[in-house]
Chain A
Amino acid sequence: MSVYRMQQLKAHILPGNKTTAMAGPASPLTTHVLNIAMGVPGSNMAINLYRQDPSTNTWSLITTGTTNADGRCPGLITKETFTSGVYRLRFETAQYWESMGETCFYPYVEIAFTINDPGQKYHVPLLLSRFSYSTYRGS
């Protein structure tokens, strides 16, 4: 069975979109994980969103989620709680590849970014293979 087929079956069998992310109006912060090695969305990948406290420089966990079949994770944060500051998105990349029987050079990927204007929308995608990744500020 191809790895792609295995991924499709996994998406059907596992509970759909098991995320504690919130419902309601669209999150001002979105992500999109793409498995560019296989040309498919990076689905069922665990991700966490953290915010840094500027006075203590410690990180707090804001949201835990799992990407859906399209590699997205709606409801990462609400407009009300989206304040200026430094945030970090953590993607469990090795766990993702391991679930397909493969290794990954990166045990996880963390992308730290600065939100200066929480009134804007921010899209932080992750394009991933077993030995490379990229990200950009999208829309």
Chain B
Amino acid sequence: MAAAESSPLTTHVLNTGDGVPAARMALSLHRLDSQLMIWNMLSVGTTNKDGRCAGLVSGGALSPGMYKLRFETGSYWESLGQTSFYPYVEVVFTISAQEQSFHLPLLMTRFSYSTYRGS
């Protein structure tokens, strides 16, 4: 748990339609190689029963650049026997040199989602 709290990037996925954390959702973190203009996958994970995912980032702070957090929301809803308007959700964000820690939650239903930069 301590490792998760000190991770430079944390997320929290909430199924606000059912009022529960979104457990067992696959997600992945990618970084843009700005010279080749391709995305490199840095890590994959699955949310725990609290909708959180420890260990997305190993080592220290994330270096400046463009990142993408991809949530396999379509598969998640399918595993609950439901359809969703969105096959997946990708949140692309920019990290600049000064910033240290990022909390990127995803609040979602089958037909909506929102995200914000939290703490």
**A residues neighboring B (CB under 8 Å):** 86, 94, 104-114, 116, 127, 131-137
Contact A114 B90 (CB under 8 A): no
Say what secondary structure dominates the interface of chain B. Answer: strand
Q: Report chain A residues within 8 Å CB of B74.
A: 114
**For residue A122, which residue of chain B has the nearest CB?**
B85
Contact A112 B93 (CB under 8 A): no
The smallest beta-carbon distance between B68 and chain A, in angstroms, is: 9
Q: Report chain A residues within 8 Å CB of B84.
A: 114
Decide: A110 near B90, CB < 8 A? Known: A131-B116, A134-B113, A135-B112: yes
Contact A137 B114 (CB under 8 A): no
**Complex CA distance for A134 and B66, rounded to whole angstroms:** 20
Q: Is B91 an interface residue (CB 8 A)?
A: yes
Q: Report chain B residues within 8 Å CB of A105.
A: 93-94, 117
Which residues of chain B from 96 to 117 have any CB-CB distance to chain A below 8 Å in the complex? 111-117
**Complex CA distance for A116 and B84, rounded to whole angstroms:** 11
Decide: A137 near B112, CB < 8 A? Known: A107-B66, A113-B85, A114-B86: yes
**Complex CA distance for A104 and B117, rounded to whole angstroms:** 11
The smallest beta-carbon distance between B104 and chain A, in angstroms, is: 9
